Each structure stands twice: as C-alpha cells, then as structure tokens.
Amino acid sequence: MASSKQPQALLGATAFKPVERHGWEAVRYFLHNPDTGEILSRTPMSWLLITVFYVIYYSCLAAFWAICMTIFLQTIPMDEMENMTNQSGKRTTVSLESHQVWALDQSNP
C-alpha cells in the first residue's frame, strides 16, 4: 500500500490573511477596490440595502412625528391662543431665559 498522506486541514482555519497595502494605495483601495467592486469597503448591493432601510426608517419616523403634531395641534384651542391676554388686557408673550419663564409686555418697547 502506498501511503499518500495529505495534510490535515486545521479545524477553523478558514480565514485568510488580507493583502497588506500602505499609504495612498491603501486609501485608493478603500475608496474603490477594483478586485471585488467594493466602494468604501461595501458592495453596491450593501449600499442599496442600507439606503432603502434608512429611507423607510426616516419616512416612518417623519410620519409618526406628523401624526403626533396633528394630534397635539387639535388639542389646542387656537381662538383662545390668539386672544390670550393678561388681566390688564395687554397682549403678552412668553420667553425662556436661563431656565426661567418671564412674561414680557409687548405694549412697551
């Protein structure tokens, strides 16, 4: 019997060492790798999936915000807000300065 010994494969030895690049060559291959077609270390399909995900995500977020704003605006009586006056009959506005609320008289400049 002829003994033909083949080298045993190491368990878990599926990783391979990447090509080392230095300087501008490394930057150029990071921006576009012509061997694999990667752009900024991602394939075009990966970029498409990420873009679709974030378009859907931010669309849902904007819709949720719009629904909350609509509900909020329906709870405010606008006619009372427009005619808000203090006891003297002068229109006032409220401003926020250093975490304190001050009522400012608009009739005196």
Which pLDDT score, from 0 to 100, does residue 59 have?
Answer: 98
Beta strands in 1-99 (DSSP E): 32-33, 38-39, 92-97
Measured CA to CA in angstroms, residue 3 lies from 7, 10, 33, 90, 94 at distances of 12, 21, 44, 106, 94
Q: Which residues of the chain have pLDDT under 70?
A: 1-13, 78-109
Which pLDDT score, from 0 to 100, does residue 54 have?
Answer: 98
The tally of domains found in the chain comes to 1
Note whether residue 108 is domain-resident. no
Note whether residue 36 is domain-resident. yes
Note whether residue 99 is domain-resident. no
Structural domain for 45, as ranges: 24-82
Q: 101 - beta bridge partners?
A: 96
If we measure between CA atoms, which residue out of 19, 54, 53 comes closest to residue 36? 19
Note whether residue 8 is domain-resident. no
Note whether residue 62 is domain-resident. yes
Tokens 């990071």 belong to 30
Which pLDDT score, from 0 to 100, does residue 48 have?
Answer: 96
